[in-house]
C-alpha cells in the first residue's frame, strides 16, 4: 500500500548503549505498528550484558514496522522500527542512525513528526522525557496527524532482520493466552523457558495479574517428570518416513551426550566470563590472607545501631569505610596499569565496587567517590545500589568505573577465597563469614568473632610488602575500630 502523501518513513536503529556493548536482546516491545509515538518516547525494552534498558525513539510519528521478536538478540546498528513522519520534518535530515549504528543528530523539534536531535548515549537521548501514555491511531482527534497504513520500508535483507508481523492498531486484541502477550517481566524467566523448550503461553502465572514467575517455570519443568501436564512443550516438526528409517538405523547417542545441557555464554554470564578471562590473561595476581578478631567491630556496629532511629549500619558499610581508609594509606592499590604506555596510573578518587549476586548473575555496582562518604552515607548507597541490582534497574554507568572492589563472599557461608581481580582494577578485598572461634585474647583462650580477610592484588603495581601492609591495616581496623578515628 502506498504511503500517505506528505509523509516520509525514517528508520531507527539500535543505538550504541555505551561501555563497548555490541548487542542487546529484545525483552518487551512498548509500541505496536500503527501506534503514534512522541519524541523521546520509550519504544522497546532491551537487555544488555549489564542492565535492562528502555530505548527511546528520537522521532515522533506513526510506527510503520518493527524488527525483531521478543527474545531476539540484535547487534548495534540493526533496525528497530520505522516511523512515518511529516515530510517537512524529514527534508534534508540525515538518517536516525548511520551505517555504523551510531545515531545521527537531527534538527530539533518537539511536535509529533519531528526529531529530538539528541544523540543516544548510554540510555538513549540526552533529553529527559517522562513516560508518555501510548495513543492508539484509532483514538486520535480530527485535529491530529492521520495515521498511515502499516508498511515496512525497503530494507536490504543482509542489513536487517525480517520485520515482525504485528496486527495494526485498532484491530481487536487477541483473546486467550494462546494469541495474546505473555505476562512475563523477567528476562531470566524467558531464557529459562526458552532453553528448556517450554511454551510460556500454556502457563498460568502465580504473580500479580497472572504474572509468570521463575517458580512457575521451574514447577512446570518438574511436572513432566512427575507425570503432570501443567506445561506444554513445543513439539518439533514431524520427520518424513525416510528420515525415521535412517534415524532407526543410526547408532544411538551415548547417555552422557544425550543428557548434557548446553548453556549459552551470553548476556551477563558471557560478560562476566569475558572479563574474568581477560583478568587472568593480563594481570599477574597474587593473594595474601589473614584471620582477624572482629569482636570489637561487631560491638561497635551494635553500639551505633542502638542510637537514634535512622537506618541500621551494616557490616559491609563498616568494611567499605575501612577500605577507603586503607587506600588512603596505600594508594598503590587504587590504580590501574596502562599496558600500552607501560605506566601505572594511580587514581585520586576511590570508586568502590562491591560484588552483588542477583537472578541475572554476578554484578558489581560502584559507589562513586566512596572516599568522601561517611559510614552512614556508604550504607545508604550500598542499600540503594543493591536494591537496584536485584530489580534489574542498574544502568551501565552504575556498573562501570570502579577502582577497587570489596567482595563479601561470607554471605555464602564460606571462610576464604582467592578472588579474581575485576579488570582493569589492581586489587580486591575478600571477606569471609564472621563466626565464633577459639582465639587467644589478652593471653587467655576465649571464643571470639573471627573473620578471614584475603587480598588479591596486581603484582605489577606493588610488591608483597605494600599488599601485606594494606591487609594488616584492614585487619587492625577490624580488630580495633577506633583506629578509623585517626582518618577522620
In which region does residue 84 sit, left (phi positive, over 0), alpha (psi from -120 to 50) or beta (all else)?
beta
**By the 8 A CB rule, do 432 and 441 touch?**
no
- The C-alpha angle with vertex 405 and arms to 55 and 302, in degrees rounded to 5, equals 110
- The C-alpha angle with vertex 389 and arms to 387 and 395, in degrees rounded to 5, equals 120
**Would you give the DSSP letter of residue 448?**
E
Give alpha helix (H) positions in 196-238: 214-222
Whole-number Å distance between alpha carbons of 351 and 327: 11
Q: How many CA atoms are closer than 13 Å to the CA of 225, on its beta-carbon side?
A: 5
Catalytic amino acids?
Answer: 459
Q: Which residues pair with 52 in a beta bridge?
A: 47
Q: How many CB atoms lie within 10 A of CB 376?
A: 15
How many angstroms separate the first and last alpha carbons of the chain?
72
Cell of 41: 518516547
Q: Which among 197, 203, 237 has a CA at the least distance from the CA of 219?
A: 203
Residue 288: phi, psi to the nearest 5?
-130, 155
Cell of 204: 498460568
Q: How many CA atoms are closer than 13 Å to the CA of 338, on its beta-carbon side?
A: 8
Whole-number Å distance between alpha carbons of 204 and 37: 32
**By the 8 A CB rule, do 58 and 96 touch?**
yes
Whole-number Å distance between alpha carbons of 97 and 124: 12
Whole-number Å distance between alpha carbons of 464 and 333: 12
Strand spans (E) along 207-330:
285-293
Amino acid at each position: 500500500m502506498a504511503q500517505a502523501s506528505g509523509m516520509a518513513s525514517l528508520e531507527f536503529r539500535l543505538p550504541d548503549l555505551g561501555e563497548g556493548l555490541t548487542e542487546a536482546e529484545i525483552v518487551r516491545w512498548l509500541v505496536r505498528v500503527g501506534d503514534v509515538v512522541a519524541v523521546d518516547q520509550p519504544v522497546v525494552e532491551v537487555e544488555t550484558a549489564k542492565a535492562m534498558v528502555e530505548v527511546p525513539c528520537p522521532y515522533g510519528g506513526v510506527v510503520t514496522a518493527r524488527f525483531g521478536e521478543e527474545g531476539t538478540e540484535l547487534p548495534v546498528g540493526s533496525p528497530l522500527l520505522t516511523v512515518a513522519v511529516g515530510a517537512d520534518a524529514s527534508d534534508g535530515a540525515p538518517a536516525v542512525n548511520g551505517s555504523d549504528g551510531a545515531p545521527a543528530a537531527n534538527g530539533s523539534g518537539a511536535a509529533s513528526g519531528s526529531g529530538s536531535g539528541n544523540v543516544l548515549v548510554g540510555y538513549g537521548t540526552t533529553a529527559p522525557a517522562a513516560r508518555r501514555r501510548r495513543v492508539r491511531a484509532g483514538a486520535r482527534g480530527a485535529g491530529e496527524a492521520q495515521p498511515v497504513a502499516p508498511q515496512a520500508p525497503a530494507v536490504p535483507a543482509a542489513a536487517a532482520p525480517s520485520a515482525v508481523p504485528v496486527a495494526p492498531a485498532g484491530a481487536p486484541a487477541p483473546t486467550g493466552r494462546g494469541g495474546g502477550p505473555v505476562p512475563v517481566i523477567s528476562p531470566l524467566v524467558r531464557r529459562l523457558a526458552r532453553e528448556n523448550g517450554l511454551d510460556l503461553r500454556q502457563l498460568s502465572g502465580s504473580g500479580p495479574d497472572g504474572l509468570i514467575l521463575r517458580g512457575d517455570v521451574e514447577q512446570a519443568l518438574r511436572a513432566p517428570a512427575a507425570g503432570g501436564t501443567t506445561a506444554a512443550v513445543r513439539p518439533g516438526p514431524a520427520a518424513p518416513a525416510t528420515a525415521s528409517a535412517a534415524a532407526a538405523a543410526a547408532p544411538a547417542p551415548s547417555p552422557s551426550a544425550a543428557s548434557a545441557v548446553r548453556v549459552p555464554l551470553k548476556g551477563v554470564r558471557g560478560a562476566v566470563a569475558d572479563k574474568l578471562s581477560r583478568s587472568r590473561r593480563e594481570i599477574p595476581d597474587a593473594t595474601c590472607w589473614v584471620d582477624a578478631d572482629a569482636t570489637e567491630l561487631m560491638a561497635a556496629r551494635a553500639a551505633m545501631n542502638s542510637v537514634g532511629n535512622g537506618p541500621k549500619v551494616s557490616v559491609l558499610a563498616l568494611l567499605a569505610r575501612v577500605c577507603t581508609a586503607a587506600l588512603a594509606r596505600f594508594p598503590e592499590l587504587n590504580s590501574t596499569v596502562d599496558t600500552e604506555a607501560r605506566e601505572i596510573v594511580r587514581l585520586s578518587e576511590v570508586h568502590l565496587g562491591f560484588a552483588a549476586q542477583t537472578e541475572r548473575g554476578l554484578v558489581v555496582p560502584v559507589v562513586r567517590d566512596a572516599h568522601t562518604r561517611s559510614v552512614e552515607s556508604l550504607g545508604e548507597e550500598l542499600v540503594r545500589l543493591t536494591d537496584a541490582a536485584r530489580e534489574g534497574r542498574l544502568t551501565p554507568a552504575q556498573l562501570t568505573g570502579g577502582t577497587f572492589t570489596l567482595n563479601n563472599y561470607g554471605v555464602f557461608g564460606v571462610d576464604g577465597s582467592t578472588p579474581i581481580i575485576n579488570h582493569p582494577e589492581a586489587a580486591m578485598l575478600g571477606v569471609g563469614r564472621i563466626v565464633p572461634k577459639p582465639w587467644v585474647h589478652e593471653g587467655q583462650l576465649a571464643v571470639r568473632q573471627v573473620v578471614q580477610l584475603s587480598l588479591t592484588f596486581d603484582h605489577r603495581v606493588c610488591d608483597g610488602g605494600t599488599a601485606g601492609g594494606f591487609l594488616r591495616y584492614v585487619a587492625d581496623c577490624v580488630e580495633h575500630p577506633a583506629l578509623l578515628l585517626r582518618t577522620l
